[in-house]
Amino acid sequence: MNALAPETGLLPGFSDPVAQSQKVFRVVLEAMSRPGTIVAAHTVASAPRPLDPVAAALILALVDYETPLWLDPAAAQPAVIDYLRFHCGCPLVERPDQAAFALITDPKSMPPLSSFYLGSDEYPDRSTTVIVQVPHLDGGEGWSLKGPGIRDQAILSAGHLPAAFKAWVQDNHLLFPRGIDLLFAAPTHVAGLPRSTQLEG
Amino acid sequence: MSTGYNFAYLDEQTKRMLRRALLKAVAIPGYQVPFGSREMPLPYGWGTGGIQVTAAVIGADDILKVIDQGADDTTNAVSIRRFFARTAGVATTEKTREATVIQTRHRIPETPLSEGQIMVYQVPIPEPLRWLEPRETETRKMHALADYGAMHVKLYEDIARYGHIATTYDYPVLVNDRYLMRPSPIPKFDNPKMDNSPALQLFGAGREKRIYAVPPYTSVKSLDFEDHPFEIQRWDQACALCGATESFLDEVVTDDAGGRMYVCSDSDYCGERRDEVEQ
Amino acid sequence: MYVAVKGGEKAIDNAHALLAEERRGAEEVPELSLAQITQQLALAVERVMTEGSVHDRELAALALKQAQGDAVEAIFLLRAYRTTLPRFGASQPIDTGAMTIRRRISSAFKDLPGGQVLGPTYDYTHRLLDFALAAEGAARPEVKAAETGLEPSPRVTDVLRHQGLIEESGPGADIPGDLTRQPLNFPAGRDLRLQNLARADEGFVLALAYSSQRGYGNTHPFAGEIRMGEVAVELVPEELGFAIDIGTITVTECQMINQFKGSKTVPPQFTRGYGLTFGQCERKAMAMALVDRSLRAEELGETVTAPAQDQEFVLYHSDNVEASGFVQHLKLPHYVDFQSELEMIRRLRRENAEAVP
């Protein structure tokens, strides 16, 4: 997993996969169990553009040959594809609703959240987890969050998202227990927005 | 630390599978996520679900506490703590306050939990409706429809027959006003501690291959009726060792002529109180 | 003065030391070698391999030695070892039609191509304790004629299939499921059911099969064919793209042929029940085939009435590692729950007494 392959130009993954996967997972677990909390990321040294190291670390830690991955068109570059195939061995799928995980590197042109797999009433856990790479988590429109994991309320201000994003998230919550779960990957931090979270206003 | 096996015993592929299940469990509080439970080197029914969850979560910086019946020194707690000391080399503690991960069977510590702590419950039977409906295909439908009438009827029959609900442990709860959940066989005395807890609560059922979770600050309501509100056990006695009146007490038989005494089931809590008195 | 029970650590260490002592037994008796176990307790080894889902005689022998001959404990040891092994891929389906036959019998036809080959079997032994064996070094009777099938022995089910008298076995799943990696969901496909039955406890499967013969979901079976012998295992490595032979294993296969009156869409024909084990676990293979057929009730439009036809009942309770663990977990302390129940019983009794004037 940490093999350096300079002759192919392939970037390395985790230098210590066991310890780093665990650290990244705990970041994600914290982010998902306390929606809206900005959690300091654990990252890899570098990732092939346009993939950011934080988003790359999330994928390395969670995705493998058992989890089909969907890449947005901006991410579906040969360098990214080779990198993910080599380090994760994950199948890449054509349609967002076939994916267990989805990676969005260009949120402005991302498809609506309803185009991912939403799970079924009996197996809501099978829905897609959508990783959205954002430039920051504090400069956008501030959303007021309520729900499990939130003591009173939390504010999340993820930036650079499509205008309809908030409405998508609200619609997604209404499907509960079905629905997708969101992970935001900013350059140094991570935040989670599971389907259980309600956006006020 | 034991070599020849991966950190915390499980291979990375298995951990990723568990971690993905845990994240979905957190996203759908109280819903039982099926997972590819592995055969552990400890027997099914002895905490394999909790062990798999702990193995997926734990890192080198964690401090682990393991309790069984509230005590750190019961044989199975010792055995599980040793397993992680051996395969992960993590620090262990008996102090609730010091622990970052607490694996438990049948109790929640008396010392209040705090933010950043993770409780891992060992679960024998995860399905709250199992005694009412043995079929998984049926109970899955009931959860999908939030059709929990059967459980209310069962509890109401108790009231009709005994005057109150006769369930004393593994008392059913409703999580986030949506999923009916089995809290594992903790005494109902501990149920209120689950409600709006600052800690993250994870549940692992190895043999039954289910993982579920209650995120921090999540509503966990013990089922009851307006005219028969949920209530917890109370003792007339105090702990014979530390004098506690607010803790769960174990009855200890001292002779065969009816002699008995009561002591805290939580050995760390009891010890801490005795230390305070001594100082 | 009461002191809270302490000393779990010491007690466990001591238990392990005592166990080691019991396992070794009297020092003056020579210690068992793994070779002795694989050679002389081969059927035990084969059961452990089958239910342990690992084909490795040495490891199964070690497990049996470590478990003092307790098959279920040995199966558990092997399973726990198996969990963390890396997976390189799945083999090609084995071709039992090309088996090097050591035993092959059919109760459906008197004679058939390849013939009946009795092979090594207890079937016609008189179950008289052989005291010569106790004396060790009993004389080995000479094997009269090489009874190995030299001419091709087509499977009985294939013979019937050519005449359209038995159902097609169907294409099967593209990628067979693996319930050691993914949780079982219902309804479970036949691939997963067969995997579950192959790993299932022999005693449990035997009892279920027996119940199906006694009227709890009768399947009207004939032992179409039982064959035991060596088959090649082939694997297609990703980088090569063609099959290579990775070894030879001994298996026992049982094909049950069951009566079927037909339905609205299917003409009357025979149906199949299938059993396969490592080594010579013939009782298990036969029982498995009966239960496999019983579990097909739903797909064949039969009414599910008996335990052996009930997927959830059979698949959830067949595994002896799961069952043994959960039954024996009752040994763990339950003080807290028991205390809660005590409190409740006392309260109910008190209230009862108060209610009675």
In a domain, C137, yes or no: no
Which other chains touch chain B, taking contact as 3+ CB pairs less than 8 Å apart? Answer: A, C
Q: How confident is the model over B110-138, as a mean pLDDT? A: 96
Could you check whether the bond before residue C93 is cis, i.e. omega within 30 degrees of 0? no
In a domain, C335, yes or no: no
Do B195 and B260 belong to one domain? no
Residue C17: give the domain boundaries: 12-83
Task: Provide ipTM, 2 decimals.
Answer: 0.95
Q: Is B70 close to C336, i.e. CB distance below 8 A? A: yes
Strand-strand pairing, B33-34 and A101-104: unpaired
Do B134 and B266 belong to one domain? no
- Which contacts of A92-98 are long-range, i.e. CB under 8 A and separated by 24 or more positions? A92/A68, A93/A68, A93/A69, A94/A70, A95/A70, A96/A70, A96/A128, A97/A128, A98/A68, A98/A70
A127 vs B contacts (CB less than 8 Å): 24
Do C40 and C106 belong to one domain? no
In a domain, B228, yes or no: no
- Which contacts of C51-59 are long-range, i.e. CB under 8 A and separated by 24 or more positions? C51/C75, C51/C199, C51/C200, C51/C201, C51/C202, C51/C320, C52/C77, C52/C78, C52/C79, C52/C82, C53/C78, C53/C79, C53/C82, C53/C180, C53/C198, C53/C199, C54/C78, C54/C79, C54/C81, C54/C82, C55/C249, C55/C278, C58/C34
Q: How many residues does chain A have?
A: 201
A150 vs B contacts (CB less than 8 Å): 217
Q: How many residues does chain C have?
A: 357
Number of folded domains that form chain C: 2
Q: Please report which confidence band the pLDDT of residue C150 belongs to, taking 50, 70 and 90 as the band edges.
A: low
> Is B52 in contact with B38 (CB distance < 8 Å)?
yes
Do C166 and C273 belong to one domain? yes
In whole angstroms, what is the distance from residue B195 CA to residue B214 CA?
A: 9
Q: Is the pLDDT of residue B244 over 80?
A: yes
Q: Please say whether the dihedral angle defined by the alpha carbons of residues B33, B37, B40 and B45, taken in this order, is positive or negative.
A: positive
> Is C78 in contact with C54 (CB distance < 8 Å)?
yes
H or E, element range at C102: strand C100-105
Do B169 and B264 belong to one domain? no
**pLDDT given for residue B163 in this prediction:** 86
Burial A155-181, CB ≥16 within 10 A → b, else e: ebebebbeeebeebbeebbebbbbbbb
Do C244 and C274 belong to one domain? yes
In whole angstroms, what is the distance from residue A162 CA to residue A64 CA?
A: 29
Do B215 and B245 belong to one domain? no
In a domain, B167, yes or no: yes
Q: Is the pLDDT of residue A157 over 50?
A: yes
In a domain, A45, yes or no: yes
Do B215 and B263 belong to one domain? no
Do B211 and B260 belong to one domain? no
In a domain, B133, yes or no: yes
Which other chains touch chain A, taking contact as 3+ CB pairs less than 8 Å apart? Answer: B
- Could you give the C-alpha distances from B55 to B52, B63, B227, in angstroms and in order? 5, 13, 44
Q: Is C82 close to B189, i.e. CB distance below 8 A? A: no
Q: What is the CATH number of the domain that holds A107?
A: 3.40.50.11310
In a domain, C354, yes or no: no
Q: Please say whether the dihedral angle defined by the alpha carbons of residues B21, B22, B28 and B33, taken in this order, is positive or negative.
A: positive
Do C153 and C55 belong to one domain? no
Of A90-94, A123-127, B1-5, B247-251, highest mean pLDDT: A123-127
**pLDDT given for residue C147 in this prediction:** 52
In a domain, A6, yes or no: no
Could you check whether the bond before residue A177 is cis, i.e. omega within 30 degrees of 0? yes
Bridge partners for B92 per DSSP: B64
- Residue from B36, B120, B125, B33 nearest B84 by CA: B120
In whole angstroms, what is the distance from residue C225 CA to residue C107 CA?
A: 7
In a domain, B2, yes or no: no
Do C162 and C72 belong to one domain? no
In whole angstroms, what is the distance from residue A82 CA to residue C319 CA?
A: 42
- Residue from C224, C200, C214, C215 nearest C311 by CA: C200
Number of folded domains that form chain A: 1
Number of folded domains that form chain B: 2
In whole angstroms, what is the distance from residue C130 CA to residue C149 CA?
A: 30
Q: Is C83 close to B78, i.e. CB distance below 8 A? A: no
Q: pLDDT per residue over C4-14, tens digit each?
A: 445 678 888 89
Do B17 and B153 belong to one domain? yes
Do C106 and C253 belong to one domain? yes
- DSSP secondary structure string for all residues of C109-177: -S--TT--B--S-STT------HHHHTSSPPPPPP-S-----S----HHHHHHHTT-B-------SS--
In whole angstroms, what is the distance from residue C116 CA to residue C153 CA?
A: 9
Q: Is the pLDDT of residue C139 over 90?
A: no
Q: Is A21 close to B17, i.e. CB distance below 8 A? A: no
**pLDDT given for residue A2 in this prediction:** 42
Residue B275 DSSP class: H
Q: Is the pLDDT of residue A33 over 80?
A: yes
Closest CA in chain A for residue B36? A66
Do B245 and B218 belong to one domain? no
Please confirm, yes or no, whether B30 is among the known catalytic residues: yes
Please confirm, yes or no, whether B264 is among the known catalytic residues: yes
In a domain, A8, yes or no: no
Q: Is the pLDDT of residue C356 over 80?
A: no
Do B191 and B261 belong to one domain? no
Q: How many residues does chain B have?
A: 279
Q: Tell me the residue type at C40.
A: Q
Q: Which two tokens stand for residue C98?
A: 């090309």
Do C76 and C110 belong to one domain? no
Q: Which two tokens stand for residue B227?
A: 């005219």
Do B161 and B46 belong to one domain? yes
A vs B: CB pairs below 8 A: 110
Q: Is C325 close to B251, i.e. CB distance below 8 A? A: no
> Is B264 in contact with B242 (CB distance < 8 Å)?
yes
> Is C273 in contact with C221 (CB distance < 8 Å)?
yes
H or E, element range at A88: helix A78-88
Q: How many Cα atoms within 13 Å fall on the side-chain side of residue A29?
A: 27
Do B137 and B193 belong to one domain? yes
- Least confident range from A138-142, B197-201, C65-69: namely A138-142
**pLDDT given for residue B1 in this prediction:** 55
User: Is A175 near chain B, with CB under 8 Å?
Assistant: no
Residue B16: give the domain boundaries: 12-222
In a domain, B208, yes or no: yes
Angle C18-C23-C28 (CA atoms, 0-180°, nearest 5)? 105
Closest CA in chain A for residue B141? A122
Do C58 and C31 belong to one domain? yes
- DSSP secondary structure string for all residues of B99-111: -SEEEEES---SS
Which residues have C-beta within 8 Å of that of residue C352, sequence separation ≥ 6? Answer: none
In a domain, A5, yes or no: no
In a domain, A166, yes or no: yes
Q: For B174, phi and psi rounded to 5 degrees? A: -105, 125
Q: Is C76 close to B43, i.e. CB distance below 8 A? A: yes
- Could you give the C-alpha distances from C262 to B249, C267, C307, in angstroms and in order? 65, 5, 23
- The one catalytic residue in B50, B59, B239, B271 is B239
Do C154 and C189 belong to one domain? yes
> Is B179 in contact with B31 (CB distance < 8 Å)?
yes
- Taking the CA of residue A126 and the nearest CA in chain B, the distance in Å comes to 8
A124 vs B contacts (CB less than 8 Å): 28, 31
Q: Please report which confidence band the pLDDT of residue C1 belongs to, taking 50, 70 and 90 as the band edges.
A: very low
**pLDDT given for residue C7 in this prediction:** 66
In a domain, A110, yes or no: yes
Q: Is the pLDDT of residue C239 over 90?
A: no
Distance of CA A201 to the CA centre of its chain: 25
Q: pLDDT per residue over B1-27, tens digit each?
A: 556 788 999 999 999 999 999 999 999
> Is B168 in contact with C341 (CB distance < 8 Å)?
yes
In a domain, A2, yes or no: no
